[in-house]
Structure 1
Amino acid sequence: MEAADVEVLLQEAGESIEAASNYKRELLHRLLGLTQVRKQIKDSAAQTRGALQQHFLDLKGAVTKLLDERLLTLLQQVDAVEEENIKPLDDCQKLLEHGVRTADDLLKEGELAVSCPAGKRESLYRFTNKALRIQLDSLPEVPSLVEAPCLSAQLDDSFLSVARNHISKHGAVASRPPVQIDELIERPGGILVRWCKVDDDFLAQDYRLQYRKNSSNHFEDVYVGSEPEFIVLHVAPNTDYQFRVCGRADGRQEWSPWSVPQLGRTGLLPHEWSGGFEGYSLSSRRNIALRNDCVGRGVLYSKAATYSFGQTLTFRVEAVGPTDKRDSIGVCAERQLECESLQRDQAVCISTSGAVYVNGKEMTNQLPPVCPGATVTFDMEVVSEGPNYKRRVTIGSSNREVVFDWLLDQSCDSLYFGCSFIHPGWKILVF
């Protein structure tokens, strides 16, 4: 065998060894995935058994307590009716017994008077007068059996049937939660969480999103609403977070089971306004800027060029002040501290009146004037690189959009954002 053939065989053997190694590594990875799936099924089954047993134990105790309380109430009603109707009978019985004793005494006295010699009229006279005073024709009323209460228990035999029907339908076991997290996208200083229904029969009215640091044991609510996505802000960079979501069906009070927790993180720096600019004050997180004084003219820029193409930059107007034609909210390729507005070259912006400016020129298309609570969004994508650095820009406000191509002097991967207001009162949140 020639040396060239040996070299070819050695090369093929090396490739086969590398392929076998990759194949083994992939199989081991899948075995690990299979182990995790098996663990999820086993763990969730054990948790579900525990939840079912505890729920029905609590339910049994609650039902037993309710039945005992109802039985006690009914027995107390029996006691009350019995006592109320027996007391008059006791009084009547005492009266009758007293009458019997009186009549008995009168009989003895009469028999004695009659047996006396005929000449003793005085004894007969006393007896007759006594009998007249007793009023032997006056008898107390005694209720008949029909008039007297006859207690009985009225029990609905259908209760057990109704209870059996409800119990037979109470609770359900779902193999999968009806809502699952679909996507986790990193954002500057935050994570965009998107979820979707995996059960077509589940008609969700609201969703509930929770998160926690991967090292924490406690989930906390971060969003409750009808939208299928939410940006979780103020997360620590390069830190793993777990997210889970559940839903509430239309017309129901209880929430569905939680989705399988998903891990997410962001390595992007948060959007922050630059501090120390005269006439503006910032929030503690530097994501809210307030124009609080007429002192100082110019653009308040971001701390760094943190807006990257392919992302959505959002400004929310928290408060408004008097407007001016020079007001602007937008992005730029570089900071020019001597300019008093973003209505200049190498910048795109929207004014408070809704006018859109591209490299200092006002466009024909306009957006609605900004108002308290309004959001202004910027989306950009690369169209071409050198010699024409073209970016496609979409600016949205109040459910309307303008789309245009923006020419830059040079290539750049990220942009600064900024705002300028002539009068105080304007308050802008960026995320």
Structure 2
Amino acid sequence: MSVEVDVLLQEAKESIEAAQNYRSELQQRLHGLNQARKQIRGSSGQARETLRKHFAELQAAATRLLAERLANLLTEVDTIEADSIKPLDDCQSLIEHGVGQADELLREGEAALRCGLGEKEDKLGSFTKKAMHIQLDSLPEVPALVDVPCVSAQFDDSLLSLLRDRVARHGAVSSHPPVQIEELQERPGSILVRWCKVDEDFAAADYRLQYRRSGSGGSQYEDAYIGRESEFLVLHLDPHTDYLFRVCARGEGRTEWSPWSIPQTGYTTLAPHEWRSGTEGYILSSRKNIALRNDSSQSRCPVLYSKAPTYFCGQTLTFKISAAGQMDRRDSLGVCIDSESEEESLQRDQAVCISTNGAVFVNGKEMTNQLPAVTVGSAVTFDMEVVSLFPISNNNTSEGGNFKLRVTIGSGNREVVFDWLVDQPVDCLFFGCSFVHSGWKLLSSARFCSDGFCCL
């Protein structure tokens, strides 16, 4: 009987645990539904407000434009009227003056006819002389009606039709933005953002990526990229800090941007690649990712190391040469397990490197394979992957320790691949360089391989 009770008790416990898990899953789904409902209602409210505001502004602008056009047309009417009336007013003044003279002459003539015989001759002579001066046969010309303006207003009836057609197609409401962020991948001091179209009917000509710090103290969104690519590496981000990213698109032949995608949160845990400050004979850029060998007067050739061991397996580390000096076999570009400040080259133990003449060194020993010489414009790449984290009994690849890394070094159109044996497993590496002569200038950068992380 006790065995049956124990079995029932165990089944009851399992059922309770299953019910708890079931309830937890259901609650998570309810939370997801609430978030979805919140997004729908929130975005719908924002869309309504955007529509009302836009059309109110449009109405105000249209009213203002129509009022300005009406005022301009009325001004044109006033100008035509004033310019056309002035000659008529001048002609009227001339005619009225002539009528006045004629009235005065008539009064004098009638008076001369009524006067007595004694003074009739003088009056009539004076009247006749005055009449001759007035030139009674000269009349001013009055323009015919067809020769004076007849002001009218005309309208293009197609404007209303065009306006109706444009208004009917103005604006759009969509349930989803045409592009969405597809992936956020962390990089040293940066995040690689990839996006894709979700509306296949939307012909995108350009994309626009923005980002900002997340949280209540976050800044305003700022542009990170505008162009035709569907991915972009956003640089100079603080590690362990949340950032919000959003993207939109502009259609072919359009000037306006589409609605923004749903913001996605991303962050990087990786410190940015920086050169170490204070190394004698080197000048660094403000962001400490570019180094210049500026002083080779000293006999000593110090190694410039990275600020921290920020290179991980799975990354492609690239050295881009933007200026070159005189070559020397002691020159080196590469990675190492430690940052020995007393060393004068990476051609030493616990390091792999390439010299500017193309020679490859593993743990201080030169390989038989050689790469093209490093010159201005060269890009030297280092790729590493873990082959074994366990002690290796045989040592048939290269002398060293008991843990194996596969290294690929590329320069120009050639590359060498070899296994690097180290004494103990490491999770990160330093990178460094050394140049005997001044004039060398290089940029360090890194990206992840397509299959993601493969850290030690």
CA 195–159 in structure 1, closer or farther in 2 if over 3 Å, else same = same
CA 67–178 in structure 1, closer or farther in 2 if over 3 Å, else same = same
**Mapped contact 1:291–1:423 kept (Cα < 8 A):** yes
- Residue 356 of structure 1: how far off its partner (Å): 5.3
* Residue aligning to 2:209: 208
- Residue 79 of structure 1: how far off its partner (Å): 0.7
* Residue aligning to 2:294: 292
| Paired residues for 1:321-340 under 5 Å | 321-340=325-344
* Residue aligning to 2:38: 39
User: Is there any run of 5+ residues in structure 1 with no aligned partner, and where?
Assistant: none
* Residue aligning to 1:383: 387
1:228 and 1:97 map into 2 onto residues whose CA distance is: 84
2:75 and 2:194 map into 1 onto residues whose CA distance is: 58
1:220 and 1:142 map into 2 onto residues whose CA distance is: 74
- Residue 146 of structure 1: how far off its partner (Å): 0.3
- Residue 81 of structure 1: how far off its partner (Å): 0.9
1:231 and 2:254 aligned: no
Q: Given the two structures, how large is their TM-score scaled by the length of structure 1?
A: 0.88
CA 72–172 in structure 1, closer or farther in 2 if over 3 Å, else same = same
* Residue aligning to 1:307: 311
* Residue aligning to 1:408: 421
**Mapped contact 1:211–1:244 kept (Cα < 8 A):** no
* Residue aligning to 2:397: none
Opposite residue 265 of structure 2, the aligned amino acid is: L
Deviations 1:355-404 (A, max 9, x none): 655554357574684535x6554332223344164434445567x57362
* Residue aligning to 1:420: 434
1:349 and 2:362 aligned: no
- Residue 317 of structure 1: how far off its partner (Å): 4.3
1:156 and 1:325 map into 2 onto residues whose CA distance is: 83
**Mapped contact 1:367–1:402 kept (Cα < 8 A):** no
**Mapped contact 2:209–2:245 kept (Cα < 8 A):** no
- Residue 95 of structure 1: how far off its partner (Å): 0.7
**Mapped contact 2:213–2:241 kept (Cα < 8 A):** no
2:355 and 2:5 map into 1 onto residues whose CA distance is: 74
Percent sequence identity over matched residues? 57
CA 376–60 in structure 1, closer or farther in 2 if over 3 Å, else same = farther
- Residue 43 of structure 1: how far off its partner (Å): 0.9
- Residue 322 of structure 1: how far off its partner (Å): 4.0
- Residue 203 of structure 1: how far off its partner (Å): 1.3
| Paired residues for 1:166-245 under 5 Å | 166-200=166-200, 201-226=202-227, 227-245=229-247
CA 368–56 in structure 1, closer or farther in 2 if over 3 Å, else same = farther
Deviations 1:287-330 (A, max 9, x none): 44332211331321223322111234344445544444443322
- Residue 147 of structure 1: how far off its partner (Å): 0.3
**Mapped contact 1:222–1:232 kept (Cα < 8 A):** no
1:322 and 1:246 map into 2 onto residues whose CA distance is: 48
User: Is there any run of 5+ residues in structure 2 with no aligned partner, and where?
Assistant: 393-401, 446-456
Q: Given the two structures, how large is their TM-score scaled by the length of structure 2?
A: 0.84
* Residue aligning to 1:23: 22
Deviations 1:386-429 (A, max 9, x none): 4164434445567x573623322333222211111222233334
CA 79–321 in structure 1, closer or farther in 2 if over 3 Å, else same = farther
- Residue 23 of structure 1: how far off its partner (Å): 1.7
**Mapped contact 1:320–1:427 kept (Cα < 8 A):** yes
Opposite residue 139 of structure 2, the aligned amino acid is: L
Opposite residue 171 of structure 1, the aligned amino acid is: G
**Mapped contact 1:178–1:202 kept (Cα < 8 A):** no
1:313 and 1:16 map into 2 onto residues whose CA distance is: 53
Opposite residue 166 of structure 1, the aligned amino acid is: R
**Mapped contact 2:371–2:411 kept (Cα < 8 A):** no
**Mapped contact 2:404–2:422 kept (Cα < 8 A):** no
3-state SS of 1:146 partner? helix
- Residue 276 of structure 1: how far off its partner (Å): 3.3
**Mapped contact 1:211–1:222 kept (Cα < 8 A):** no
Which range moves more in the overlay, 146-155 or 323-332?
A: 323-332
Q: CA RMSD in A?
A: 2.8
- Match for 1:255 among 254, 257, 280? 257
Opposite residue 304 of structure 2, the aligned amino acid is: L
3-state SS of 1:383 partner? strand
1:151 and 2:151 aligned: yes
2:354 and 2:251 map into 1 onto residues whose CA distance is: 41
CA 23–368 in structure 1, closer or farther in 2 if over 3 Å, else same = farther
CA 91–199 in structure 1, closer or farther in 2 if over 3 Å, else same = same
CA 175–362 in structure 1, closer or farther in 2 if over 3 Å, else same = farther
**Mapped contact 1:190–1:232 kept (Cα < 8 A):** yes
1:164 and 2:164 aligned: yes
Size of the alignment, in residue pairs? 428
Which range moves more in the overlay, 261-270 or 321-330?
A: 321-330
Which range moves more in the overlay, 144-153 or 348-357?
A: 348-357
2:251 and 2:405 map into 1 onto residues whose CA distance is: 43
**Mapped contact 1:356–1:367 kept (Cα < 8 A):** no
1:177 and 1:188 map into 2 onto residues whose CA distance is: 30
3-state SS of 2:196 partner? strand
1:369 and 1:30 map into 2 onto residues whose CA distance is: 58
- Residue 283 of structure 1: how far off its partner (Å): 4.6
* Residue aligning to 2:134: 134
**Mapped contact 1:209–1:245 kept (Cα < 8 A):** yes
- Residue 350 of structure 1: how far off its partner (Å): 4.1
**Mapped contact 1:214–1:242 kept (Cα < 8 A):** no
Deviations 1:192-242 (A, max 9, x none): 322222222231324222222323343332522333333333333322222
| Paired residues for 1:90-129 under 5 Å | 90-116=89-115, 120-129=120-129
